Amino acid sequence: MSYQTRDQLISLETELNVQYQALKAQNLKLDITRGKPSADQLSLSDHLDGFLEGNYLTADGEDTRNYGNLRGVTEVRKLGADMLNVPADNVIAAGNASLTLMYICMLHSFYYGARGSENAWSNACKAKMICPVPGYDRHFSLCENLGVEMVTVPMREAGPDMDAVEALIEDDDNIVGLWCVPKYSNPTGVVYSDETVERIAQLGKIAKPWFRVFYDNAYAVHDLSDTPVQLASLWDRCEAHGTQDSVWQFGSTSKITFAGAGVSFVAGSNDNLAELQKLLGVIIIGFDKVNQLRHAKMFPDKQALLTHMSMHAELIRPKFAAVLQALNSELAEYGSWTQADGGYFISFDTEPGLASEVVRLANEAGVKLTPAGATFPYGKDPEDRNIRIAPTLPPLPEVVKAMEVFVNCVKLATVQKKLSKLLSQN
Ligand SMILES: Cc1ncc(COP(=O)(O)O)c(C=O)c1O
């Protein structure tokens, strides 16, 4: 914010306060917290219901109504392979949540150990996971649940700070993994550069055998632009370096079809998948293959998937545009933000020490924002700056209104802080 005299700040604060009280008096009830698809996005897939028309057989004659085939039906594994850019033979198609698969993979490494109990995190080390920040709160919850300590590295424009990641791995055998959301990262929208992908592929060469990259490609096909940035193939780079065992890749159709009834995927090396399958076999006899088959029928090839995703983009592009319009026109002097070309989020940084206050003010004015700190491990943003904006769920007029409140709250919190600092100096 440019320099203002004491009197200018006082009159600006009064003006912003009047606006704030007027917004409060509107008794709003708006919510831009979670990255959920809107009802009209979900409706794009309503024809999933009834797709099978009573034919439950896969192309190779499997009856999807019955138990079995833990790896999932062949044609849906091909869909997962297209999404994640990996070979279909190296994909398991599962239930409706990739988050569950991530947890099970962690659990496997933690208790049983990849290639033997001597590599189990609980035996071999005091497990620590590298978390690029800001990042996805549910990844942090998985770590917390297993008592895996989280070590942060900064998220840069090209992905995680790879110098910091490599240094941590080289210096500390307790590092057991790295969280990644390589395309349209949650919440920054960053797409990892080719160099970042290459360096991630090489981590397996310097890390301990129990180390795994958790490569959560949740937004692999969630482009907003017609000319999206291409993410390099981690699979190919790992193959070139012989490091396939060091990586798990994940994805799902949660934000493609139904968030509550999609299909999830995990991809890994043959040996990794064989071990995972053993553990999965203890938990479940077979995932929902009827749902897998109808997904496969809905997306017979990658083009069908991309065409469907362009319909999602049509629906949510105006909402992202509304957020960016509000930020660009009003908050240039009050913070910084990311220009996401896809995914579900825009990440806003206030001036240091203000995020919690902005969230509090907005909540009191009837606009729910993701709690400040949620994008950092243990809910603690050391600089109290980051706020994740998730514009997909509410209808466009609500996004516009919520942003009006957001803009007012950011300005008010900033001006109040400046003023109180100025007054305390005098
Ligand atoms: C980065 C990321 N991974 C995973 C998920 C959840 O995926 P799923 O529905 O497949 O469990 C989300 C949902 O917001 C996400 O943002």
The predicted pLDDT at position 310 comes to 97
Q: How far is the CA of 98 from the centre of ligand 1 (A)?
A: 7
Atom of ligand 1 nearest to the CA of 264: 10
Ligand 1 — pocket residues by CB below 6 A?
35, 97-99, 136, 181, 186, 216, 218, 252, 254, 264
| Same-domain check for residues 229 and 163 | yes
pLDDT tens-digit profile of 124-139?
Answer: 889 999 999 999 999 9
My answer on whether 97 and 216 are in the same domain is yes
Which is it for strands 335-337 and 247-252: parallel, antiparallel or unpaired?
Answer: unpaired
- CATH number, residue 330: 3.90.1150.10
Range of the domain at 244: 54-300
Which residue has the least CA distance to atom 3 on ligand 1?
218
The atom of ligand 1 lying closest to the CA of 34 is: 14
Would 206 be classed as within a structural domain? Answer: yes
61 CA from centroid of ligand 1 (Å): 32
| Segment 42-83, tens digit of pLDDT | 999 999 998 899 999 999 999 999 999 999 999 999 999 999
- 371, 359 contact by CB (below 8 A): yes
Give the CA distances from residue 101 to residues 233, 273, 311, in Å, rounded to whole numbers and listed in that order: 21, 12, 28
**What percent of the chain stands above pLDDT 90?**
95
Is residue 289, in this structure, part of any structural domain at all? yes
* 30 found inside a domain: yes
Where the chain has pLDDT below 70, the residues are none
> In 3-state terms, what secondary structure has residue 130?
strand
Q: Whose CA is closest to atom 15 on ligand 1? A: 218
Same domain assignment for residues 97 and 212: yes
Least Cα distance to 93 among 131, 52, 62 occurs for 62
If one counts the domains in the chain, the total is 2
> Do 340 and 235 lie in a common domain?
no
Last residue of a domain, one of 247, 281, 300: 300
Of 34, 96, 98, best ligand 1 pocket probe by most atoms within 8 Å of the beta carbon? 98
> Does 1 reside within a domain?
no
In a domain, 180, yes or no: yes
Is residue 138 located within the same domain as residue 232?
yes
Ligand 1 centroid – CA 334 distance (Å): 30
Crossing angle of helices 289-298 and 74-84, rounded to 10°: 60
Q: Distance from the CA of 254 to the center of ligand 1, in angstroms?
A: 7
- Tokens linked to 48: 């999933």
- Whether residue 47 is contained in a domain is answered as no
99 CA from centroid of ligand 1 (Å): 6
- What does the pLDDT read at residue 184? 98
Distance, CA of 77 to CA of 83 (rounded, Å): 10
170: which 2 tokens? 């080289």
Same domain as 310, residue 289: no
* pLDDT value for 187: 96
Q: What is the model's pTM?
A: 0.97
* Residue-level pLDDT at 205: 97
Q: Examine the domain organization and report whether 201 and 216 are in the same domain.
A: yes
- Are both 225 and 267 inside the same structural domain? yes
Distance CA 396, CA 408 (A): 19
Same domain, 268 and 408: no
For residue 191, what pLDDT is reported? 98
Q: Are residues 33 and 80 in the same domain?
A: no
